[in-house]
Structure 1
């Protein structure tokens, strides 16, 4: 059986689409379709059911993928390991949210540049990062959403605690007693600083901690949590921020935590790869390095 046909088959099986598999393989969609038909003729069985959106493997297709994929991944690993590591830098392409990627992931990965890595990063939301990874534009993605399907494999990376903060002058204006006893009602007239008009961080915090919706609209909307922190510290209003991002500002007294819930809201980050690419040593090394670094990201 032709290994090229098996490679195309496994890629289609993981991608769930001839079109997406063609992009990953650098082939045309008709070429992928032709290779799958050739393999089906050789086996005498259909491997996929064609649907309006992509393909679904038959039971024979699932069985073949289960048997073939580990061996193809092992061949990739052998090929990659056999390359001359000193001949050139190995580029690692990473996608993720701008703040977390800049503040945590990239500083951890820069230590690998001494091992022959060249880092390339792009910023985007979870949907953009996962789409870019699935299309083959990145090697790793950091996402707050766990992807579905067989094309991408996600590993929990770390949890992020969210903190409700504002400048000290807002605490003085509201009063600590009011904050303790009235909860969300004490904050109804405080302006909100957020990353989007939908108030994703504040709304999630209110639902989790206060079991209600925030009353105040967004006064300052800026699509970067570092800018949100700067505006909140300058007195623009309250904000909900990851603790890692505002810890230093809290310690310096530039912002103050308005509430200390028994169970703080958390958000999980996932480290995502295309299934099978951990057979490539440079991707596996970066993946392992980030997971190890994340164990210290309290």
Structure 2
């Protein structure tokens, strides 16, 4: 069996689309279609059911993918190991949320630079855009706050992020702990709100988890970067909901004050995502392992 045909088949099986597989392989869609038809003629059975949007594998297609994919990935790993020996530098294209990628991921990957890794980063706030870019082959490794669906992408939980409701010491003193315990969200909704988007994604998630309701207030300051939100809140612009890792030092120094300490703080999970099979590539596998190892202390 022609390994090129098998590689194309596995890519289509994982992508669920001839069009997406063609983009990943650097081929035209007619070329991918022709290769799949050739393989189907050789096997004497259909491998995919063509649908309006993409393709669905037949039972034969699923069986072949299950049997062949691990061996094909192993061959790619062998080939890439040889390439690593000949090439001094391999480039990793990493995508993720700007704040987490800057503060957590890039420092964790820095030790790999001395081992011949070059790093290129893309800051993307929206999780779906991150996953779409990874699926299209624009990135090698992605950090996202959504778990991907389908077989094209493989995800591993990386870490949980605790969210903290914060404000400057001036606002905290005006509220007072007794007032917060007695009236809760009613008092908080009288404060200006600092957020990353008009939809108040962080505040809404916090209100739903802690108060079981939606926030009534609108955003007063909207800044599409959590670091800008932090600085605005610390300067007295209003309350904000921030990841603890980002504001921990400001909480310790008193620039920010945690307004509440709920028994179960709201959490958000980060996932480390790759295209299925690409962990056979040594430089992606090293970065993947390095981030998982670093996340133990996050």
Band of TM-score, shorter chain: over 0.9
Q: Where do residues 226-237 of structure 1 align in structure 2 (5 Å cutoff)?
A: 226-237=227-238
What secondary structure does 2:288 align onto? helix
Partner of 1:28: 28
Alpha carbon RMSD of aligned pairs, Å?
A: 0.8
In structure 1, C-alpha distance between the alignment counterparts of 2:87 and 2:188, rounded to whole Å: 60
Partner of 2:98: 98
CA distances 1:164-195 after superposition (whole Å, capped 9, x unpaired): 00001111222221012211111121010000
Residue 284 in 1 paired to residue 271 in 2? Answer: no
Offset at 1:88? 2.7
In structure 1, C-alpha distance between the alignment counterparts of 2:258 and 2:84, rounded to whole Å: 52
In structure 1, C-alpha distance between the alignment counterparts of 2:213 and 2:279, rounded to whole Å: 43
In structure 1, C-alpha distance between the alignment counterparts of 2:246 and 2:85, rounded to whole Å: 36
Offset at 1:84? 4.6
Offset at 1:86? 5.6
In structure 1, C-alpha distance between the alignment counterparts of 2:50 and 2:86, rounded to whole Å: 45
Partner of 1:148: 149
In structure 2, C-alpha distance between the alignment counterparts of 1:292 and 1:84, rounded to whole Å: 22
Q: Where do residues 100-115 of structure 1 align in structure 2 (5 Å cutoff)?
A: 100-115=100-115
Q: Where do residues 55-74 of structure 1 align in structure 2 (5 Å cutoff)?
A: 55-74=55-74
What secondary structure does 2:214 align onto? coil
Offset at 1:12? 0.1
Q: Is the 8 A contact 1:155 1:270 kept in 2?
A: yes
**How many pairs does the alignment contain?**
297
Offset at 1:246? 0.3
Offset at 1:267? 0.2
Partner of 1:251: 252
Residue 221 in 1 paired to residue 234 in 2? Answer: no
Residue 199 in 1 paired to residue 200 in 2? Answer: yes
Offset at 1:128? 1.5
What secondary structure does 1:83 align onto? helix
Residue 5 in 1 paired to residue 5 in 2? Answer: yes
In structure 2, C-alpha distance between the alignment counterparts of 1:148 and 1:70, rounded to whole Å: 20
Shift of the 86–3 alpha-carbon distance from structure 1 to 2, 3 Å rule, reads: closer
In structure 1, C-alpha distance between the alignment counterparts of 2:182 and 2:115, rounded to whole Å: 55
In structure 1, C-alpha distance between the alignment counterparts of 2:99 and 2:164, rounded to whole Å: 16
Q: Is the 8 A contact 2:84 2:90 kept in 1?
A: no
Partner of 1:171: 172
Offset at 1:212? 1.1
Partner of 1:88: 88
In structure 2, C-alpha distance between the alignment counterparts of 1:287 and 1:165, rounded to whole Å: 33
The answer for unaligned runs of 5 or more in structure 2 is none
Partner of 1:138: 139
CA distances 1:17-43 after superposition (whole Å, capped 9, x unpaired): 000000000000000000000111111
In structure 2, C-alpha distance between the alignment counterparts of 1:86 and 1:107, rounded to whole Å: 27
Q: Is the 8 A contact 1:206 1:213 kept in 2?
A: yes
Offset at 1:268? 0.2
Residue 270 in 1 paired to residue 271 in 2? Answer: yes
Q: Is the 8 A contact 2:226 2:242 kept in 1?
A: yes
Q: Is the 8 A contact 1:192 1:237 kept in 2?
A: yes
In structure 1, C-alpha distance between the alignment counterparts of 2:42 and 2:223, rounded to whole Å: 57
Offset at 1:87? 3.1
Offset at 1:273? 0.4
In structure 1, C-alpha distance between the alignment counterparts of 2:189 and 2:139, rounded to whole Å: 43
Q: Is the 8 A contact 1:86 1:116 kept in 2?
A: no
In structure 2, C-alpha distance between the alignment counterparts of 1:53 and 1:29, rounded to whole Å: 14
